[in-house]
């Protein structure tokens, strides 16, 4: 089951089609909403946000909820034991 999307409150990304090619777009920040969002979702002082494009072509910003697996959960098979 997929996790529910968490949209980045207070952040808006806009692609500027008329801008020079080196300008991808701009981010607008609504400070009060953004500070509350950042405070709620920070881990070790950081919040990762992805800029994505919806099926209809508009852009949105979503909280990156990826958590890498701990090193202890890696397979214990060594390279020499791999069957290839």
**10 found inside a domain:** yes
**37 found inside a domain:** yes
**74 found inside a domain:** no
Q: How many domains does the chain have?
A: 1
The distance from CA 61 to its chain's CA centroid, rounded to whole angstroms, is 7
Place of tokens 């070790």: 44
**80 found inside a domain:** no
**52 found inside a domain:** yes
**84 found inside a domain:** no
Cα-based angle 33, 18, 28 (whole degrees, multiple of 5): 10
**81 found inside a domain:** no
The 10 Å Cβ neighbour count of residue 37 is 21
pLDDT in tens, 6-57: 999 999 999 888 999 899 889 999 999 999 999 999 999 999 999 999 999 8
Q: pTM for this one? A: 0.69
């Amino acid at each position: 089951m997929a996790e529910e999307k968490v949209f980045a409150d207070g952040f808006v990304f806009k692609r500027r089609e008329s801008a020079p090619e080196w300008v991808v777009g701009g981010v607008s920040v609504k400070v009060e909403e953004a500070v509350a969002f950042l405070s709620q979702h920070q881990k070790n002082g950081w919040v990762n946000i992805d800029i994505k494009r919806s099926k209809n072509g508009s852009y949105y910003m979503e909280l990156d909820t990826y958590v890498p697996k701990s090193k202890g959960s890696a397979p214990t098979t060594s390279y020499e034991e791999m069957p290839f």
